[in-house]
A and B are shown apart, each in its own frame.
Chain A
Amino acid sequence: MSAPIIEPIIDLQNVGVAFNAQLRVGSPRFWALEDVSLSLQRGDRLGVVGRNGSGKSTLLRTLAGIILPDRGRLTRASVSCQLLSLAVGFMPHLSGRDNAILSGLMLGLRRREIEQRLPAILDFSELGDFFEQPISSYSTGMQMRLGFSVAIQVEPDVLLIDEILSVGDAEFQQKSSDALRARIDNGQTVVFVSHGDAQVQQICNRAVWIEHGRSMMQGPVDSVLTAYHAAAPVAAGAVGV
């Protein structure tokens, strides 16, 4: 069941992204992404592998349209791309319910859509009566559970996931990754950043390997992972950031 070859929905050619290193006049810029090329088709489950500081998170935010490239070319079909972000816009003094609505609006849902999904959010988050309490009274785990329950309600064309989420206790972790898996198995287009080979192998149909802000290789998961591990991680410590 391979995806038919169609026009890419996002296409990056030799994309570079530079950041300001410091808030100073004339501070030098550094290139978080040097030269990345990749293309994403509808229905793709693309895994991004690379060492710390290789630019994976920057790549995701570039795909999300939050960061614009400073060089190279990025073309995007009219699709919505969204980072799976937890607890976006949460305010401590508001109730779980109000925060769910606020966060949902921030993530692009309409008010009516969120109201409809509130029972599902309450149910999934397992917050019970706490749902009406200010989230400042929540434990970190409870806040994350609420955050995930809201975030999973958003249905972008392309879902961007940065690292696997360790949300709440073991039981909720299982539940949240099951929910994500269900979404992915339903044909959701995903770009997935991970350190763990197992997750990439389980979830992804393709992978791209990023090193020092450059895309080294793109293709089937196994061959990319093999090449990635074959390359000695000598410079990894030197990159930092």
Chain B
Amino acid sequence: MRLHLIELTLFSTYAELRAERARSYLGLLWWVIEPAMNMGVYYLVFAVIFKAPEPNFLAFLLIGLTLWQWFKSCISHGSYSIWQQMPLIRQVKLPLQVFPNVQILADTVKFLCILALLLVVLWCSGYPPNITYFALLPVLLVELIFVAAASYIVAAIVPLVPDLRFIIEQVLQVLMFLSGIVFSLDGLPPGLRAWFELNPIVELVDAGRGILMRAQWPNWASLGRVALISLALYALGSFLITRLTPRYVKLPS
């Protein structure tokens, strides 16, 4: 049974990516072009127009945006993942976690492409590989769990309250600015900054920047704390989906 679900998830992910490629002329190139354009816009606004005080702003921004976009796309795609499959859910009995999983996996594949590109850009601009790269794996793993947790929770609720879709995008926008993606939180008063650091994304992005820019090992204690929170949220999300599944099929189509 488990193996069957893994096969289903992997093949659906392949199908999803493949269909996406078929939907545009440039196909796979968009995986890279779209985020690159996005990064260009932020660079223009914050570096060129607002003249960000941050030294090494380009590296700072690119790392932040790369990690952020992974999170963001998993949430926005995840929020639709179950809701979009309602006709199918009325036909076959499946554990519905499969659907957000497919979106998360597809977005993670795209993220890894962008990450590879990011590393090349960093190496070419004076941030060579270093020993702390080993810590990237646990950091990314924790982010994956966090991303999956958030994605499960929105995926579970949106079918019951589809109106939430309109709010999620706005919340993500605000969250990006609160997470120190496009400007540094260092300028904040220490008291306020402590509050901001409760946000797991701040922790993860900081750890990523430390590794890639300053060859700095992550703060294991806070990474562990984020991991625990993420696991708890993941369990909650999964529970919500299982618990709400009988209600989805009874919603008006």
> B-contacting residues of A (Cβ < 8 Å)?
17-23, 61, 64-68, 82-83, 85, 88-89, 91-94, 98, 101-102, 105-111, 134
Contact = CB atoms under 8 A, between A and B. Distances in A.
Interface size grouping (class) on chain B: 20 to 34
B19 A106 contact: no
Nearest to A109: B4
A84 B47 CA distance: 59
Contacts of B90: 61, 66
A92 B250 CA distance: 27
Given A67-B249, A102-B15, A108 B4 contact: yes
A101 B11 contact: yes
B88 A106 contact: yes
Given A23-B162, A92-B19, 9 more contacts: A61-B249, A66-B93, A66-B249, A82-B92, A94-B15, A102-B11, A105-B7, A110-B4, A110-B7
A19 B252 contact: yes
Interface string B73-99: 000000000000000111111100000
A109 B92 CA distance: 12
A18 B252 contact: no
A21 to B, nearest CB: 7
B113 interface: no
A155 to B, nearest CB: 14
Interface string B10-40: 0110010011001100000000000000000
Nearest to A110: B4
A85 B3 contact: no
A18 B250 contact: yes
B22 A106 contact: no
B246 interface: yes
Given A22-B252, A102-B11, A105-B11, A64 B19 contact: no
A68 B243 CA distance: 12
A66 B12 contact: no
30 contacts: A20-B252, A22-B252, A23-B252, A61-B90, A66-B91, A67-B249, A68-B246, A83-B91, A83-B92, A85-B92, A88-B88, A88-B91, A89-B12, A89-B88, A91-B15, A93-B22, A93-B23, A94-B22, A98-B15, A98-B18, A102-B11, A102-B15, A105-B4, A106-B94, A108-B4, A108-B92, A109-B4, A110-B4, A111-B7, A134-B22
Contacts of A107: 92
A88 to B, nearest CB: 5
Interface of B: 3-4, 7-8, 11-12, 15, 18-19, 22-23, 88-94, 162, 246, 249-252
Contacts of B93: 64-66
A17 B250 CA distance: 9
Q: Which 10 A-B pairs have the closest CB atoms?
A: A93-B22, A93-B19, A85-B91, A105-B8, A111-B7, A68-B246, A19-B250, A91-B19, A65-B93, A67-B249
Contacts of A94: 15, 18-19, 22
A66 B15 contact: no
Given A19-B250, A66-B93, A67-B250, A110 B19 contact: no
Nearest to A102: B15
Nearest to A68: B246
Contacts of A66: 89-93, 249
A101 B14 CA distance: 12
Nearest to A108: B4
Given A68-B246, A105-B4, A21 B252 contact: yes
A110 B3 contact: yes
A93 B18 contact: yes
A111 B11 CA distance: 9
A67 B246 contact: yes
A102 B15 CA distance: 8
Contacts of A67: 246, 249-250
B124 to A, nearest CB: 36
Contacts of B94: 106
B252 A106 contact: no
Contacts of A68: 246
Nearest to B159: A23
